[in-house]
Amino acid sequence: MGYESVRFPENTLFLVTGGAGFIGSNLCEAILNKGCKVRCLDDLSTGKQENVDLFINNPNYEFIKGDIKELDTCMKACEGVDYVLNQAAWGSVPRSIEMPLFYCANNIQGTLNMLEAARQKGVKKFVYASSSSVYGDEPNLPKKEGREGNLLSPYAVSKRADEEWAKQYTRHYGLDTYGMRYFNVFGRRQDPNGAYAAVIPKFIKQLLNGEVPTINGDGKQSRDFTFVENVVEANLKACLAPHEAAGEAFNIAFGGREYLIDIYYGLTKALGVDIEPNFGPDRAGDIKHSNADISKAKELLGYDPDWSFDRGIKAAIEWYRENL
Ligand SMILES: NC(=O)c1ccc[n+]([C@@H]2O[C@H](COP(=O)([O-])OP(=O)(O)OC[C@H]3O[C@@H](n4cnc5c(N)ncnc54)[C@H](O)[C@@H]3O)[C@@H](O)[C@H]2O)c1
């Protein structure tokens, strides 16, 4: 279980784009802990300098401040790289509805530049962040690869387009690509601030500050909230996946189902506060329920997540208590 037994030769060089962000910085940390080298490429648009400063004194860590919208930057960043873990993108469904052109340029052209650079520089594997949003309005649960519905936001379009481009790079240019369809990831270093913050860190911060959080909708929506360590495991195992599994996208989740209202009251209890939430309108582009069938990743990547929601939320709360 997990990724303890995953091993790479010590001179292996990973490139993590978006490495100054939440998931990317957790990937950088895990790679350094394995004794390998990591180059982080990030434009610090939503990522943080402090997530770079954490590792900058480690001789196995290198930081390039740069934008994946620039092919030249991507080419330089891929020099000598064994594995690319492409996380750079802007998240948030509502923000993508406000700025579709930016999402196309940043999330689609950016990833296409990275694919092209990885191909030209002879990278071994290209693992990239996709999203459960590619399931759109498909109503059946659990969500299963190959059964996708109509897309509900420019963000979802950007992730779907990335998957299609990645498939072309496997088909025509022999680059082994693996798409990670993350389902609502949470854990240390996820940004609790701003209008587009994810719900778990936002609620934890508000409750710790004695503020009243707002739940969009009735709180009866459910998600397959996934602790970030499971996402790290999936990325590292995808780097060692067989060629036969390339050109595919995989659900990366725990395979559970949590209701937002239960999470809310779980947090108030764990934090020892007695605050009733406000309820606001549903958000455009959101679906009511989402949970994942993870059998494809289990079978083809050897993915075997060992962080349940309960175990992960305890670790996340502890981290926010110490770091907020
Ligand atoms: N967090 C989730 O629940 C979740 C769910 C599904 C998919 N994803 C995907 O996972 C990836 C990582 O998400 P995250 O939650 O860590 O977000 P994040 O905002 O914390 O990290 C993204 C990082 O990418 C960087 N970045 C953005 N555009 C860039 C560009 N043009 N050039 C260079 N760097 C750029 C940002 O500065 C940031 O550091 C994203 O691709 C996101 O769409 C996340």
Looking at residues 31-38, what average pLDDT do you find? 98
Alpha-carbon distance of 118 to 246, in angstroms, equals: 15
pLDDT at 115: 99
Tokens of 140: 């059946």
Mean pLDDT of 213-241: 97
Task: Please tell me if the CB atom of residue 91 comes closer than 6 angstroms to any atom of ligand 1.
Answer: yes
Q: What percent of the chain has pLDDT over 70?
A: 100
pLDDT in tens, 291-320: 999 999 999 999 999 999 999 999 999 999
Task: State if residue 44 touches ligand 1 by the CB under 6 angstroms criterion.
Answer: yes
Ligand 1 pocket check for 151: Cβ under 6 Å? no
The confidence score (pLDDT) of residue 107 equals 98
Q: Is 22 a pocket residue for ligand 1 (Cβ < 6 Å)?
A: yes
Cα 310 to ligand 1 centroid, rounded to whole Å: 24
Picking from 227, 230, 317, 223, the residue whose alpha carbon sits closest to that of residue 266 is 317
Query: Is residue 59 very low, low, confident or very high in pLDDT (cuts 50, 70, 90)?
Result: very high
The active-site residue out of 3, 135, 155, 303 is 155
Amino acid 1: pLDDT:
84
Q: Is 155 a catalytic residue?
A: yes
Q: Which atom of ligand 1 is nearest to the CA of 128?
A: 41
C-beta 184 within 6 A of ligand 1: yes
Closest residue CA from atom 42 of ligand 1: 91
What mean pLDDT value characterizes the chain?
97
Interval 246-253 mean pLDDT: 98
154 ligand 1 Cβ < 6 A:
no
Q: What is the pTM of this model?
A: 0.98
- Cβ neighbours, 10 Å, residue 117: 24
CB-ligand 1 contact for 293 (6 Å cutoff): no
CB 127 within 8 A of CB 180: yes
From residue 141, give the alpha-carbon distance in Å to each of 55, 104, 132, 191, 253: 40, 29, 12, 29, 14
Residue nearest atom 26 of ligand 1, based on CA coordinates: 88
Report helix, strand or coil for 139: coil
Q: What share of the chain is helix, strand, coil (3-state, %, to 5)?
A: 40, 15, 40
Residue 312 CA to ligand 1 centre (angstroms): 20
pLDDT score recorded for residue 152: 95
- Find the 274 Cα to ligand 1 centroid distance in Å: 33
Spacing, Cα 22 to ligand 1 middle (Å): 7
Q: ω into residue 100 within 30 of 0, thus cis?
A: no
Residue 122 neighbours by CB distance under 10 Å = 11
What local confidence, expressed as pLDDT, does residue 27 receive? 98
Q: What are the counts of helices (DSSP H) followed by strands (DSSP E) for the chain?
A: 12, 13
Whether the predicted pLDDT of 285 surpasses 80: no
Q: How confident is the model at residue 287 (pLDDT cuts 50, 70, 90)?
A: confident
Half-sphere exposure of 263 (CA within 13 A, CB side): 29
Distance 93 CA to ligand 1 centre (A): 13
Q: What class has domain 13-183+228-255+293-307?
A: alpha beta
68 lines ligand 1 (CB under 6 A): yes
Ligand 1 atom closest to 24 (CA): 16
Residue 286: pLDDT band (50, 70, 90) is confident
Task: For ligand 1, say whether the CB of 225 is within 6 Å of any of its atoms.
Answer: no
Looking from the CA of residue 88, the nearest atom of ligand 1 is: 24
In tens, the pLDDT along 182-200 reads: 999 999 999 999 989 999 9
CA-159 nearest atom, ligand 1 = 43
How far, in Å, is the centroid of ligand 1 from the Cα of 18? 6
Greatest CA separation for the chain: 58
Q: Which atom of ligand 1 is nearest to the CA of 155?
A: 43
